[in-house]
C-alpha cells in the first residue's frame, strides 16, 4: 500500500498544476492536445514511481493517417491508462458514466471526447454510445475499447460485448487487437495495492471489417488475435 500511496501523491502533485494550466488552455483554444499529452506523461510517471516497466511490441503495425479502433483484453485497472498512453496519436475511449462525475477529472474526459457508457443500459443507450464514437472517429481520433466490458476476475478472457463490433462494421475503421498481460499481478481486481513488475502491451496487425460478412465473424477474428499474444493460461 506504500507504493500505491506514493503513486497517488505523485499523480496528485503533477495533476493539479497541469489542470490549472492545460484545462483553461483547452477551453480557450479548443486544442486538447497539450492536456492529453500532459495526462499521458502523468500516467507514465505513475508507472515509473510504482516500479512498473512497460514492454510494448508491434506498435509499428498501427497504420498512420487513419482513425482506428483499439480493442484489448482487460485484467487490471492499470490497463486503460497504460494502453492509452502508448497508443500512437490521440485516442478517446468508452468509460463508465460514473467516472464523468468525478470533479475536474470527469470534465477533462469530456474535453477529450471520451464516451460515457452504461454497463446495464438499454439497447438505445448503447446505440447512442456507438453513434458518439462514430462521430469521434470521423474527426480522425482513435477509439479505445475493452470488448469484455469489465475486468476478468482471474486473467482469462471473458466473452466479448457486441457494441464495439457494431461500431467497426458501421464505420469501416480498422480494428487493432491488443494483448495485455502482466498487469493482472501488478494490481489485481478488487485491490488498491500496486506491485512493481512488467506490463506487456502487444499490438497486432490491423483487421479490416470489410473482410467480414457479419460482426460475429469480425469479433471472432479480433478475439483470436488478442488471444494469440497472451500467455497460454489466459487464453479462452
| CATH number, residue 175 | 3.40.1130.10
Q: Is pTM beyond 0.85 here?
A: yes
Q: Which domain holds residue 137?
A: 53-234
- Kindly state whether residue 14 falls inside one of the protein's structural domains: no
- Kindly state whether residue 5 falls inside one of the protein's structural domains: no
More confident residue, 107 or 124: 107
Query: In total, how many domains does the chain have?
Result: 1
- Kindly state whether residue 120 falls inside one of the protein's structural domains: yes
- Kindly state whether residue 15 falls inside one of the protein's structural domains: no
Distances (CA, A) of 86 to 38, 157, 180: 13, 22, 12
For residue 153, pLDDT beyond 80: yes
- Kindly state whether residue 203 falls inside one of the protein's structural domains: yes
- Kindly state whether residue 139 falls inside one of the protein's structural domains: yes
Segment among 22-31, 96-105, 173-182 with least mean pLDDT: 96-105
Q: Convert the pLDDT of each residue in 29-42 to its tens digit.
A: 999 999 999 999 99
- Kindly state whether residue 2 falls inside one of the protein's structural domains: no
Q: What is the pLDDT of residue 77?
A: 94
- Kindly state whether residue 1 falls inside one of the protein's structural domains: no
User: pLDDT confidence of 211, banded at 50, 70, 90?
Assistant: very high
Query: In the chain, which residue ranges form alpha helices assigned H by DSSP?
Result: 2-29, 33-49, 79-84, 105-111, 123-138, 163-171, 183-186, 215-228
Amino acid at each position: 500500500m506504500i507504493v500505491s500511496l506514493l503513486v497517488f501523491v505523485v499523480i496528485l502533485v503533477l495533476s493539479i498544476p497541469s489542470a490549472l494550466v492545460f484545462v483553461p488552455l483547452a477551453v480557450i483554444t479548443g486544442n486538447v492536445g497539450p492536456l492529453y499529452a500532459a495526462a499521458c506523461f502523468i500516467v507514465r510517471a505513475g508507472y515509473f514511481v510504482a516500479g512498473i516497466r512497460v514492454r510494448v511490441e508491434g506498435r509499428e503495425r498501427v497504420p498512420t493517417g487513419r482513425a482506428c479502433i483499439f480493442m484489448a483484453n482487460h485484467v487490471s485497472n492499470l490497463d486503460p491508462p497504460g494502453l492509452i498512453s502508448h497508443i500512437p496519436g490521440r485516442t478517446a475511449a468508452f468509460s463508465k458514466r460514473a467516472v464523468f462525475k468525478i470533479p475536474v477529472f470527469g470534465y477533462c474526459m469530456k474535453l477529450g471526447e471520451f464516451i460515457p457508457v452504461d454497463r446495464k443500459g438499454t439497447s438505445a443507450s448503447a446505440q447512442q454510445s456507438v453513434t458518439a464514437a462514430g462521430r469521434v472517429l470521423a474527426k480522425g481520433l482513435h477509439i479505445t475499447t475493452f470488448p469484455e466490458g469489465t475486468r476478468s476476475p482471474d486473467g482469462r478472457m471473458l466473452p466479448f460485448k457486441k457494441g464495439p463490433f457494431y461500431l467497426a462494421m458501421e464505420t469501416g475503421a480498422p480494428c487493432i487487437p491488443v494483448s495485455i498481460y502482466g498487469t493482472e499481478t501488478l494490481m489485481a481486481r478488487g485491490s488498491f495495492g500496486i506491485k512493481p513488475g512488467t506490463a506487456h502491451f502487444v499490438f497486432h496487425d490491423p483487421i479490416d471489417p470489410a473482410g467480414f460478412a457479419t460482426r460475429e465473424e469480425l469479433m471472432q477474428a479480433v478475439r483470436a488475435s488478442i488471444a494469440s499474444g497472451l500467455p497460454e493460461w489466459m487464453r479462452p
